[in-house]
Structure 1
Amino acid sequence: MSNQHVDTGKKDYVKGFILSLILTAIPFYFVAAQTLPAAATYAVMFGCALVQVFVHFAYFLHMETRTDEGRWNFVSLMFTAIVVLILIGGSIWIMWNLNVNMKM
């Protein structure tokens, strides 16, 4: 019974690794080949990065909301994300205000 769980875990890691490689190779190709306009290349890069974040959450960090432990992990992740966004946004706001107010 425990071997089945280990095999399923290995399969998930392999799937996540392959998806991560694909989601990394796609932007590298479009940047190196320069086949798309710059805006489209940025959109492809951002899209692949966003999908890759969810792949990492699902396959490597095992973020799931089906169990109590998974829900608390998700709540912790959201709290951390909100704090980081407040810190980054506040820092940018302060730097922008300093830049505007220092010009004479």
Structure 2
Amino acid sequence: MSNQEKGFPISHIVGFLLSITFTVVALLVALKTDLPKTTIMFVIGGLAVLQAGLQLIMFMHLNEGKDNYSKIIHTVYAIFMAVVIVIGSIWVVTAGHSIH
């Protein structure tokens, strides 16, 4: 066990507080601003990407340990699959509406 594992998990607390902050900011932007809907969606999407990156680093320990090349390959593949699923879902939903 390293010294960091034995001590107070300050990085986990900072990561948790940042995650809460990103979520609250997204909520406030969505509910309390008069920005155009497109802008709100981009802000929420940007905050979601930041939060995902934060959680990969702080909680999934992506930057720790050996074999970082393998971790990067798996992470890129997971991101690719998530993008394909989201874009495919949007495509299927919008294609269904254009049939009428």
Normalising to structure 1: TM-score of the pair? Answer: 0.68
Give the 5 Å matches for 1:61-72. Answer: 61-64=60-63, 67-72=65-70
For 1:78 and 1:17, how far apart are their aligned partners in 2?
Answer: 24
For 2:35 and 2:51, how far apart are their aligned partners in 1?
Answer: 21
For 1:69 and 1:55, how far apart are their aligned partners in 2?
Answer: 20
Letter in 2 for 1:29: L
Letter in 2 for 1:42: M
Letter in 1 for 2:17: I
Structure 1 residues without counterparts, runs of 5 or longer: none
Per the alignment, in what secondary structure is the counterpart of residue 68 of structure 1?
A: coil
Cα deviation for residue 86 of structure 1 reads 4.9
Q: CA 1:25/1:87 → structure 2, altered by over 3 Å: closer, same or farther? A: closer
Cα deviation for residue 81 of structure 1 reads 3.1
Cα deviation for residue 41 of structure 1 reads 1.3
For 1:75 and 1:67, how far apart are their aligned partners in 2?
Answer: 15
Larger radius of gyration: 1
Normalising to structure 2: TM-score of the pair? Answer: 0.70
Q: CA 1:5/1:22 → structure 2, altered by over 3 Å: closer, same or farther? A: same
Q: CA 1:75/1:59 → structure 2, altered by over 3 Å: closer, same or farther? A: same
RMSD after superposition = 3.0
Cα deviation for residue 88 of structure 1 reads 5.9
Q: 1:43 and 2:42 equivalent? A: yes
For 2:86 and 2:36, how far apart are their aligned partners in 1?
Answer: 29
Cα deviation for residue 27 of structure 1 reads 1.0
Q: Which residue of 2 aligns with 1:16?
A: 15
1:44-66, Cα deviation, whole Å (9 max, x unpaired): 111111111110111011112x7
**As a proportion of its length, which structure holds more helix?**
1
Alignment length (residue pairs): 97
Which protein has greater RCO, CA pairs closer than 8 Å, 6+ apart? 2
Letter in 1 for 2:24: A
